[in-house]
Chains A and B, each alone.
Chain A
């Protein structure tokens, strides 16, 4: 009979012990999977998020990341026009980010405002209603949290108020705008109430100093392989602004979250060690209990190789079953942990710390299988080296 079936039956001899060991291996495997997902997931999630609308380059004020500060670039329309003339640029659009207010009965509610160019935007996806058209100075887009806050939907009118004048504690400017659509802002934190208008409206609401300014310019290159060269060219052409590709922003982000990676490596390594110890301990106990049986097998002519394969098969069966349970457990715990971690202030709600991908799952499974195999080596060696005659003598007494 096959060694795997034999291994399964051997493990079934001590069902409670095997079940407890499987539970232990599953927990360790779940931790390993979560740590593998965490170590690579942050980068991938961030990269996917940056590239969701295909804009590979971001131009920001010197020394800042997008919306890192309230700094803005002057002469935004000139830069965008120049970019749109570039043969390697498919699309470019400016964005101004600012805080503003909306009138809600007798009070004001604080909002975050995006001034966008609808013909070249990479910040939102329309979920209901319609998009703004270029030059639509009477329209506004609401994010779902803002729509809830203002109790407004497509077709309703809302009143936005620009920055408050600290001298008179009153609004400097106000605008009545018609809601064109409800959108999902890709980079908003959970429950962040954001709205969007065409760029000139938001520049006007932001105050007189915001004329022709932008917080960010999004650039879509015609081909991904042109991005590094295009970035270099734009740096030379616009030395007053910061030019970052999505890949470079991922590197910045990775440096900020290096702690997470280190934590994931340490916890992942610990889970592997726990897995090795669990499997090795269980198999060693099993081998020691069955030394008489093993000596009998050797006495009737079963080779050391078969004995070794048998023990390794038991380790393999334990690992595969434990890993299968561990993957399920890992995916569940990842979802739970992700819900906690993504509540950190300032993180985009669409961001994910744990990204389950086929390659991640495959990597974790391979590492576990190799670990399980290696954990079986010592007990297999113990079984293969069992002295036949002495063991049989000891069994007979």
Chain B
């Protein structure tokens, strides 16, 4: 039996903040199957971004287990976890976080270069991905020369670079105007239609409504 792309069991996460313990997650379990498009919605401080970070292996839970394609993340070394993020997970951030000194194409090539993809192959794939997100003509432009919507589309192309198992997006439309946000939603829809598994954290009701499945969080727990 093929394991699901993502499985979380009883995840808990506590922070120390100003001398007090903050319970960001209080026992969250979640299963995401291949091809799912899941929206995680909820007010600020409900723990949705923390959940996304735990699912993507960029933070470790206080308790509980995350499995990516059947591999327990807590069993991996830092080096293995980094490699897993590089090859199996695609991240999209609210503030895009492109490297401003690189061009759009170089930003897309970056994860492939880190994964050891040959120069010619990664250039070809970067151009394909930029074309996929509608930015074939902007490959040679620096990130700082792009609009917010364009930067987010480059960030999506970067996240897809190493053909990840799952794409994780944290408030991907949070910094964009309504029209540009709609373009990103359409792009996500297209990605999911093409078989990409998506988990999106959002405040945006339209985005939550677009997803095939919406999860609502409050005070570190899933409410429905």
Residues on A facing B (Cβ under 8 Å):
1, 6, 9-10, 12-13, 292-293, 296-304, 306, 388-389, 392-393, 395-396
Contact = CB atoms under 8 A, between A and B. Distances in A.
A339 to B, nearest CB: 45
Contacts of A293: 97, 99
Contact of B53 (A1, A12, A303, A389): A389
B110 A302 contact: yes
Contacts of B101: 6, 9-10, 12-13
B158 to A, nearest CB: 7
Given A300-B158, A393-B49, A388 B59 contact: yes
Contacts of B83: 301, 303
B85 A300 contact: yes
Nearest to B109: A1
Given A1-B106, A6-B101, A293-B99, A303 B87 contact: no
B85 A6 contact: no
A377 to B, nearest CB: 20
A186 B53 CA distance: 78
A332 B152 CA distance: 52
B102 interface: yes
A300 B159 contact: yes
A303 B114 CA distance: 8
17 contacts: A1-B109, A13-B100, A13-B101, A296-B93, A296-B97, A300-B110, A300-B159, A301-B83, A301-B89, A301-B114, A301-B115, A302-B110, A303-B79, A303-B114, A389-B53, A389-B59, A396-B170
A396 B86 contact: no
Contact of A300 (B53, B95, B109, B111): B111
Nearest to B174: A396
Interface in B67-107: 78-79, 82-87, 89-91, 93-95, 97, 99-102, 106
B218 interface: no
A306 B102 contact: no
B152 to A, nearest CB: 14
Contacts of A388: 58-59
Q: Among B83, B85, B89, B94, which residue has the most Cβ atoms of chain A within 10 A?
A: B85
A314 to B, nearest CB: 11
B93 A392 contact: yes
B49 A292 contact: no
A299 B102 contact: no
Contacts, number: 74
A303 B102 contact: no
B113 interface: yes
Given A293-B99, A299-B58, 10 more contacts: A13-B101, A300-B111, A301-B85, A301-B114, A301-B115, A302-B82, A303-B79, A303-B114, A306-B114, A395-B97
Given A301-B85, A302-B86, A1 B113 contact: yes
Closest 7 CB pairs of A and B: A301-B86, A389-B59, A9-B101, A296-B97, A301-B85, A388-B58, A299-B58
Contacts of A389: 53, 58-59
B149 interface: no
B87 A301 contact: yes
B56 interface: yes
A293 to B, nearest CB: 6
B91 A300 contact: yes
Contacts of B110: 297, 300, 302
A10 B94 CA distance: 23
B159 to A, nearest CB: 7
Q: Among A296, A300, A303, A306, which residue has the most Cβ atoms of chain B within 10 A?
A: A300
Nearest to A13: B101
Contact of A292 (B58, B87, B91, B97): B97
B205 to A, nearest CB: 20
Contacts of B95: 395-396
A306 B170 CA distance: 25
A9 B106 CA distance: 13
A392 B84 CA distance: 19
A13 B100 CA distance: 9
Nearest to B115: A301
B114 A302 contact: yes
A301 B49 contact: no
Contacts of A12: 101
Contacts of B82: 298, 301-304
Contacts of A10: 101
Contacts of A393: 49
Contacts of B58: 298-299, 388-389, 392
A10 B159 CA distance: 22
B176 to A, nearest CB: 15
Contacts of B91: 296, 299-300
B19 to A, nearest CB: 16
Contacts of B97: 292-293, 296, 395
